[in-house]
Amino acid sequence: MIKPLRPEDMWQPKLGAPVGNRNAWKTGAHSAPVRDWRKRVADWRRRVRAAVAAAQRV
């Protein structure tokens, strides 16, 4: 006899966080605005370092 599976027992590919939502977005540390802000800060630091190096050469 073949026992039919319930819909919740069938394997289906899932996307996103697992049961328990351990991959949930909790802090916003990786949101697009924060990533953009980090890029702007890194660019500003590069420009400041270049300006300081140019001033030391003079």
At residue 48, the pLDDT reads 98
Do residues 9 and 2 lie in contact, with contact meaning Cβ atoms separated by under 8 Å?
no
Helix, strand, coil percentages for the chain (3-state, nearest 5): 50, 0, 50
Query: pLDDT tens digits for 1-56?
Result: 666 666 666 666 666 666 677 777 777 788 889 999 999 999 999 999 999 999 99
The residue to which tokens 């050469």 are assigned: 57
The reported pTM is 0.55
User: Which amino acid, 50?
Assistant: A
Any domain includes 19: no
Any domain includes 44: yes
Q: Which two tokens stand for residue 2?
A: 């073949």
Containing domain of residue 55, as a range? 31-58
How many separate domains does the chain show?
1
Any domain includes 21: no
